[in-house]
Structure 1
Amino acid sequence: MAKTNDLRLAKGYNMQVLKDTFRKLNPVEMVRNPVMMVVEIGTLVTLWFTIQASTPGTRFYNGLVTVILFFTILFATFAEAYAEARGRAQADFLRKTKSSTKAKILRADGGFDLVESASLEKGTRCLVEAGDVIPGDGMVIEGIGSIDESAITGESAPVVKTVEDSVTGGTTLMSDRLVIEITTHPGESFLDRMIALVEGAKRQKTPNEIALSALLGVLTLIFVLVVVTLAPIAGYYGSGATDTTTLVALLVCLIPTTIGALLSAIGIAGMNRVSQVNVVAKSGRAVEAAGDIDTIILDKTGTITIGNRMATEFFPVSGVTLAELADAALLSSLADTTPEGRSVVELSQRMLNLQLLPKADGEPIPFSAHTRMSGIDLVDGRQIRKGAVSAIKEIVAGAQDELDQYAEHVARQGATPLGCSVDGRALGIICLKDVVKPGLKEKFRDFREMGIRTVMATGDNRITAAVIAEEAGVDDFIAEAKPEDKIELIRREQAEGKLVAMTGDGTNDAPALAQADVGLAMNSGTMAAKEAGNMIDLDSNPTKLLEVVMVGKQLLITRGALTTFSIANDVAKYFAIIPAMFASVPLLHVLGALNIMGLKTPHGAILSALIFNALIIPALIPFAVRGVKYRAESADRMLARNIFNWGVLGVIIPFAGIWVIDRVLGIFGLA
């Protein structure tokens, strides 16, 4: 995670982490982790034999093994306590921020009143000046400023926010001045949700985590049987490594303690990483499900496209120059404050290479649903109109066929044609297009490489939908889609055994959000949508679903990588210890040939492996908390890379580590 949280932990949470670390040694807590429960029982057993030892040498060896086993458990509980404390540190910081923040509520006379931020109602308008903490979740309605969001996201780089951008309570305005409108009711802000997330009921294990815990439990049982079997074999052949303490130590070295110790920390950290992208997950199950998604259903408007149609091109009819059409479009749109109208002005200004906008002397004609046109009546007598092509055709003479041809051409591009005329003479067509958001095509390609299918849902006709789908790079689309069509698509995909994710914000999206395996509801949406989804996007950005899926993938990749590393560790330790244990047995001298590290004594091999086993857990805590680096690739390639990188490292590192530790122990006469 980010340096901000690390600093807060260093300043105020070290003592709490230590308390939680020792609290988790309670067998009632430890029973949830069968691997570490075996280690704890083994520690108690070796402690008993340390107390009962009859010679100083035996007591020293037993005591040393007991201490190493104790630190192994301690490091495991520390990993979980550390991951939990990072989330708690953020929640406590947010609670402190919430209780200390004052809001400047604007008055009608332009002044403001200071009130507690916790009392802000939805719709309240507040003034935020440079250095102020933003009092609540809201939307910028005036101004532009740079905001420090590190308290929420952990990212130190400031973010520029302008009109219609969302802001989060608890962040700090670094520059300029903003007027924001609060968009949440008391108790529903990001701060409230984060505090509830951390302080609510105990985190429930996800299905994959439960399955992995069961697998680790089975592996532990198998190694218990192996070690129990080794005892009489070693005794029969006269090996000196048959005492109970050595066998317990051998068992701990062979069972998958590394992943057993880090499993909970990985899951907790996954929840925290989702909060860093301003998404509140109602459970760890939702985060994990995001990593297993097979199909993503995305709305077109506002998700794949910007959501506002933008003027992109002019098509003048015969006898009309491009400059003449651009000039008429500009004059007719100067009074049009809609996003479409502003985009016509911007395109005309570029076409005409104008530094300053002209002044239109005349009477603006607002758009009317009856006439389906707008425009301006200039003082020089010219009447300029723009609107639906069919409406323009009714007031012009000539160029009818040419208008139809250009209109059809624009429609086939997935855009909307807008006719333009002056004094009953057709000038041409303005192309209005809902622009696809930049970078989406590359993201969808990454998902395709991971085996995730993307489907665009839109109410547009098939021609427009097909054009947008091709431009965006989605795998499939459904046109003229109604709410029931979305839920039917989800059910059809799930019937084929696939996991489905979708976004939504309206009451009519609630059934589909509830049906989807991952339902990302917009914070600006209806309460029904937010209740139906299992995640809430506080920024109300529908494309956030793509980031959530990546966080889920990173969680699963991290768990898989560390599991591979842990199992490879166990294999390496097995081949390091067993040969050393039986190297002195004449009939089993072939095992001595496998002692490639030259470990001199069974006790030295056991101690070296135990120390390495304990030290590797804290060494891997940063990987568990931050997550293994995410790459967009197919599941097969990902598996192969994990097995090669983490599997090979998991074999090599124990051999090197145990060899070094054995040589150090030899210096002190312990090996």
Structure 2
Amino acid sequence: MSTITRSLEHSSKGARTPGGAFTWTQIWAALPGAIRKLDPRQEWHNPVMFLVWTGAVLTTCLAVAEPLAGAVAADATAVPPGFVWAIAVWLWLTVLFANLAESVAEGRGKAQADSLRRTRTSTVAHRIVRYDAATDPAAADTPWQDVASADLRLNDVVVVSAGELIPGDGDIVCGIASVDESAITGESAPVVRESGGDRSAVTGGTRVLSDRIVMRVTSQPGETFVDRMIALVEGAQRQRTPNEIALSILLAALSIVFLVVVLTVNPIASYAADPVNIAVLVALLVCLIPTTIGALLSAIGIAGMDRLVQRNVLAMSGRAVEAAGDVTTLLLDKTGTITYGNRRATAFVPLGGVQPDELVRAAALSSLADPTPEGTSIVELAKVEGVDAGTSSQGDIVPFTAETRMSGLDLIDGTQIRKGAGSAVTAWLEQEGVRVPSSTVSELAEHTEHISRTGGTPLVVAARKADGDARVLGVIHLKDVVKEGLKENFAELRSMGIRTVMITGDNPLTAAAIAEEAGVDDFLAEATPQDKLALIRKEQAGGNMVAMTGDGTNDAPALAQADVGVAMNSGTSAAKEAGNMVDLDSDPTKLIDIVRIGKQLLITRGALTTFSIANDVAKYFAIIPAMFMGAFPGLAVLNVMGLHSPASAVLSAIIFNAIIIVLLIPLALRGVRYRAMNASRILSRNLLIYGVGGIAAPFAGIWLIDLVVRLIPGF
């Protein structure tokens, strides 16, 4: 669990709040912020709620002026005493509840930001005065000076030894070390960072556990990764997304339409009977405009980013989260994403005339001193086959080299065992004066080709005894194992309309075999950085939204081009700068969760918009008949709820309009549960649940509130 996630555990008396629920403690903490947002300079950013705010100001002025004037208007229909004050109070509560929804969502980010700030400490940095990578790359003899981490500047070079905190963000230029990143990711297991690869980036505030590294600072003070995390989780830099802006425009347009409708009510009523009280008109307008979604729109966006943060993914903008919901093509790197990344021994294939135990024992002996995951897996598989090779003290180790492409063991009795590429092993035998029979070569080629065709890697094992007898024993089948459950996940993505593409540097034969086993829709073999970039551009030219993961500098162009570029926190600074999301756990498979969260955000927004508009329709049929049935008795037939009076109907509707916002805050924060199905089914489901529910809820809610309001004298 990450540090930023753990901060949620203390936000409510030490108990972590569920993803969508909120406690009274959180509400109390968010209340000051909600009150501050009553400032009109902040309210006008939300046109719908600004209209409600204007109505609240107007009715408050009318309530204050009412005792002085004796009536709201000389020719206005009489209203019960205190009616205008009641309308004004509930309109202010409506605005306050809308602000509260946004403040509760922002409060979670602030709690996480406070936790992150506690991880920032001023540390002493050993800054090298003049670093020369050519003469002293390890900075062993180069003098340094101690400075505060806040005084470090871009491109400064510092030395960090075991036990010391890394003073700032940077890339390792020399050395390898085990690093504790729990302060950032929350994971207690240390990670290895080294120079010259895709895992050279280190983050300020993390601790070196072993060895010594030389790093170059890649950020200015105040612009470090932690600083950016704090700004992001606080929402200070959150910009509204295009869809959110478009929805705001739609809501504003609907509000203007209803404003015109309400303004025409009074002339019609004056002509037919008596003019309508201004406070009633304001209440009618507020009930008809889509206040519910207008109040929750910002909270939905903030909560979407918050759900990503809870999964240790930082979205650099709300636009990135939204884009994830529209992704139609998913590019996944093979190694470490689709497969475990380390080849494992899965089978021993003896050649004709060779006993299986003889091959297994020889393979295990040749791998005893092999520290690689492949070597370890061979020994483990041998034990499963019932062969324990003992220890490597039985002979001299022959290490693997790029030149020989083999490794092995020279036993005390003079026997030599080698394992490696087929061509290298047969060449070794021929060098030793052993002629390999053509039948053996043919059988060996058949086995190795079959293993390669199925996506595996063949390792050939041979032995030469002291008496000169030598032969090829068989083949070890190494396989880059596909992760469990991926095929089902890809099938689910396919049902969501998302096409998956595996990217690998393997040859097409191997790539095709792994792609088939993993269940991806397509693959790109022998991929170069230019190939990745070209593929993304081709997909985008076809109207697709593309997401991909990457961690290396060579992935930066593709990450920048993709609509959703998820950079690994363990990757290079270039990759993290290019992407619009950073995965703190460096787990590429999390891209699937990111897509789900993005879709959940869009579905939540659509569901609550449907509910809000359906609410307006129901409130229209609740209020209009009750308001005018005195002047037009025929409208009484439409008063299906049997509301007590026009005053109780209007006040009940205004109360319901405010309360429903509070009741929907948990749904806005948690999000509507996403199920993998096509768009038409999702639309039908939302219309059934939130459309029908949005119509039914006001009828039931307003009727129950009216039962209480009618008990007030005068109503």
Q: TM-score, normalised by structure 1?
A: 0.87
- Asked whether the 8 Å contact 1:316–1:325 carries over to 2, the reply is yes
2:696 paired residue number: 652
Specify the code of the residue in structure 1 equivalent to 2:654: L
Distance 1:5 1:554 in 2: 25
What is the CA distance between 1:643 and its match in structure 2? 1.8
- Asked whether the 8 Å contact 2:122–2:150 carries over to 1, the reply is no
Specify the code of the residue in structure 1 equivalent to 2:495: E
1:617–1:638: structure 2 CA closer, same or farther, 3 Å change rule? same
- Asked whether the 8 Å contact 1:79–1:265 carries over to 2, the reply is yes
Distance 2:662 2:237 in 1: 24
- Asked whether the 8 Å contact 1:334–1:360 carries over to 2, the reply is no
2:17 paired residue number: none
Q: CA RMSD in A?
A: 3.5
Pairwise mapping of residues 44-63 of structure 1 onto structure 2 (< 5 A)?
44-53=57-66, 54-55=69-70, 60-63=82-85
2:118 corresponds, among 68, 74, 96, to 96
Distance 1:119 1:548 in 2: 37
- Asked whether the 8 Å contact 1:456–1:478 carries over to 2, the reply is yes
1:312 corresponds, among 331, 336, 346, to 346
2:454 paired residue number: 413
1:565–1:124: structure 2 CA closer, same or farther, 3 Å change rule? farther
- The percentage of counterpart residues that share the same residue type is 57
What is the CA distance between 1:582 and its match in structure 2? 2.4
Specify the code of the residue in structure 1 equivalent to 2:351: V
Distance 1:181 1:633 in 2: 52
Distance 1:6 1:670 in 2: 43
1:220 corresponds, among 231, 239, 255, to 255
1:547–1:40: structure 2 CA closer, same or farther, 3 Å change rule? same
1:274 paired residue number: 308
- Asked whether the 8 Å contact 1:239–1:581 carries over to 2, the reply is no
Moved more, 115-124 or 242-251: 115-124
Q: What is the SS of the residue equivalent to 1:204?
A: coil
Pairwise mapping of residues 6-25 of structure 1 onto structure 2 (< 5 A)?
6-7=12-13, 17-25=30-38
Distance 1:122 1:333 in 2: 40
1:528 paired residue number: 574
Pairwise mapping of residues 56-75 of structure 1 onto structure 2 (< 5 A)?
60-75=82-97
Distance 1:287 1:518 in 2: 8
- Asked whether the 8 Å contact 1:326–1:348 carries over to 2, the reply is yes
What is the CA distance between 1:658 and its match in structure 2? 0.5
What is the CA distance between 1:613 and its match in structure 2? 0.4
1:478 paired residue number: 524
Q: Which runs of 5+ in 1 are unaligned?
A: 109-114
Q: What is the SS of the residue equivalent to 1:352?
A: coil
Matched, 1:5 2:42: no
Moved more, 430-439 or 603-612: 430-439
Distance 2:564 2:406 in 1: 43
Distance 1:27 1:15 in 2: 22
Distance 1:117 1:542 in 2: 32
2:238 corresponds, among 188, 199, 203, to 203
- Asked whether the 8 Å contact 2:603–2:674 carries over to 1, the reply is yes
Q: What is the SS of the residue equivalent to 1:667?
A: coil
What is the CA distance between 1:161 and its match in structure 2? 3.3
1:351–1:447: structure 2 CA closer, same or farther, 3 Å change rule? same
Cα deviation per residue 1:65-115 (whole Å; 9 max; x = unaligned)? Answer: 001101101111111122112111211122124349999xxxx9xxxxxx9
Distance 2:297 2:102 in 1: 8
What is the CA distance between 1:19 and its match in structure 2? 2.9
- Asked whether the 8 Å contact 1:332–1:386 carries over to 2, the reply is yes
1:202–1:26: structure 2 CA closer, same or farther, 3 Å change rule? farther
Cα deviation per residue 1:581-631 (whole Å; 9 max; x = unaligned)? Answer: 222334x61x32221110121111100000000111111111212222232
Matched, 1:468 2:550: no
What is the CA distance between 1:7 and its match in structure 2? 4.1
What is the CA distance between 1:528 and its match in structure 2? 2.0
- Asked whether the 8 Å contact 1:296–1:454 carries over to 2, the reply is yes
Pairwise mapping of residues 390-401 of structure 1 onto structure 2 (< 5 A)?
390-394=423-427, 395=429, 397-398=436-437, 399-401=440-442
- Asked whether the 8 Å contact 1:279–1:535 carries over to 2, the reply is yes
- Asked whether the 8 Å contact 1:190–1:538 carries over to 2, the reply is no
Q: What is the SS of the residue equivalent to 1:320?
A: coil
Distance 2:693 2:226 in 1: 41
Pairwise mapping of residues 421-436 of structure 1 onto structure 2 (< 5 A)?
421-423=462-464, 424-436=470-482
1:34 paired residue number: 47
What is the CA distance between 1:169 and its match in structure 2? 8.7
What is the CA distance between 1:361 and its match in structure 2? 0.9
- Asked whether the 8 Å contact 1:239–1:582 carries over to 2, the reply is no
Pairwise mapping of residues 458-607 of structure 1 onto structure 2 (< 5 A)?
458-586=504-632, 589=634, 591-607=635-651
Cα deviation per residue 1:404-448 (whole Å; 9 max; x = unaligned)? Answer: 111011011111111001112111111111111222212211111
Distance 1:10 1:389 in 2: 66
Specify the code of the residue in structure 2 equivalent to 1:552: G
2:467 paired residue number: none
What is the CA distance between 1:127 and its match in structure 2? 5.5
What is the CA distance between 1:11 and its match in structure 2? 11
- Asked whether the 8 Å contact 1:298–1:502 carries over to 2, the reply is yes
1:641 paired residue number: 685
1:458–1:169: structure 2 CA closer, same or farther, 3 Å change rule? closer
Distance 1:117 1:197 in 2: 22
1:380 corresponds, among 394, 399, 413, to 413
Cα deviation per residue 1:501-560 (whole Å; 9 max; x = unaligned)? Answer: 111122222211111111111222222222211112222222222222222122112211
1:118–1:351: structure 2 CA closer, same or farther, 3 Å change rule? farther
Q: TM-score, normalised by structure 2?
A: 0.82
Q: Which runs of 5+ in 2 are unaligned?
A: 15-21, 72-78, 126-139, 141-146, 194-198, 465-469
What is the CA distance between 1:353 and its match in structure 2? 5.6
1:112 paired residue number: none
Moved more, 557-566 or 405-414: 557-566
